[in-house]
Amino acid sequence: MSDQGVQERAEQVARSLRSARRVLVVTGAGMSADSGLPTYRGTAGLYTNAETEEGVPIEVALSGPMFRRDPAVCWRHIGRIEQACRGARPHEGHHVLARLQERMEVVVLTQNVDGLHQAAGSRDVIEIHGNIHELRCPRCSWRLHVETYEDLAAVPTCPECGAVVRPDVVLFEEMLPTRALGRLSAVTEQPFDLVFAIGTSALFPYIVSPVIQQARTGGATVEIDPGETALTHIVRHKLRCGAAEGLTAIEAALRQG
């Protein structure tokens, strides 16, 4: 798609946004890619090999059963993800979404654990996979927010009960957090005027379903992603570009109207 194509589609999205009162934005790893974060798999991904140095797939190394069996393995790979995120700042696309709150209700449903939406100023964020900066003890009520893992032990323990602590994220083979699911259920009870999917490969039903439901009812849907996904042929508007480029183009078109 040419730059002109992106601009044309941005103008179409802007026309829908001008009358919108309620918007859902679904974001994945591609949203954070413009902040320099890896997408973990594929081109420039953090994990591109079939197995880790422990001889198991990353989905096993970063699983709930592995955390219980050998937390050192799990923490080693969690630490690498945190290191890849360290120092990242919200890009202009994050800020565009935050500024949209001045015009309408904006709910962000994100798969990302980096906290960049909140850092940019988005207020209503459903972190369906948790937040890597929030630590918790699985045994007691101890919790702690940390900006970096630099000062943590290789396998951190709770200062109150001595149990191995963990980031408040969803590991493989674990259930999604009840509170986040409840919030998602509550916000989707009422219709949205526009639903965005930005930088997500759309592999999970709970990520895909709000977009599909919106499309089925004839509502406006937008995908911002340079590649093809399971949603590409479902959405009304496809901006084949990165998150920052697409969102800034939409904001520019919105201001001109």
In CATH terms, the superfamily for domain 3-36+90-129+175-256 is TPP-binding domain (3.40.50.1220)
The answer for residues whose C-beta is within 8 angstroms of residue 97's C-beta and 6 or more apart is 25, 106, 108, 117, 120, 122, 247
Residue tagged active-site, from 94, 129, 133, 237: 129
Q: Which residues of 90-117 are buried (b: 16+ CB within 10 A; e: fewer)?
A: bbbbbbbbbbbeeeebbbbbbbbbbbbb
**CB–CB of 122/108 below 8 Å?**
yes
Containing H/E element for 145? strand 143-145
pTM over 0.85: yes
List, in sequence order, the alpha helices (H) in the chain. Answer: 3-18, 29-33, 58-61, 64-69, 71-85, 92-100, 116-120, 178-187, 205-216, 243-256
**CB–CB of 55/73 below 8 Å?**
no
The amino acid that residue 105 corresponds to is E
pLDDT in tens, the chain (257 residues): 444 589 999 999 999 999 999 999 999 999 999 999 876 554 445 555 567 888 999 899 999 999 999 999 999 999 998 998 888 999 999 999 999 999 999 999 999 999 999 999 999 999 999 999 999 999 999 999 999 999 999 999 999 999 999 999 999 999 999 999 999 999 999 999 999 999 998 788 888 999 999 999 999 999 999 999 999 999 999 999 999 999 999 999 999 97
Which CATH entry fits the domain spanning 38-87+132-169: 3.30.70.600, 3.40.50.300, 3.30.380.10, 3.30.1600.10? Answer: 3.30.1600.10
The answer for residues whose C-beta is within 8 angstroms of residue 180's C-beta and 6 or more apart is 126, 127, 128
| pLDDT of the residue at 44 | 43
The answer for residues whose C-beta is within 8 angstroms of residue 183's C-beta and 6 or more apart is 126
Span(s) in the chain for CATH 3.40.50.1220: 3-36+90-129+175-256
129 is catalytic: yes
CA dist 122 and 144 (Å) reads 22
Span(s) in the chain for CATH 3.30.1600.10: 38-87+132-169
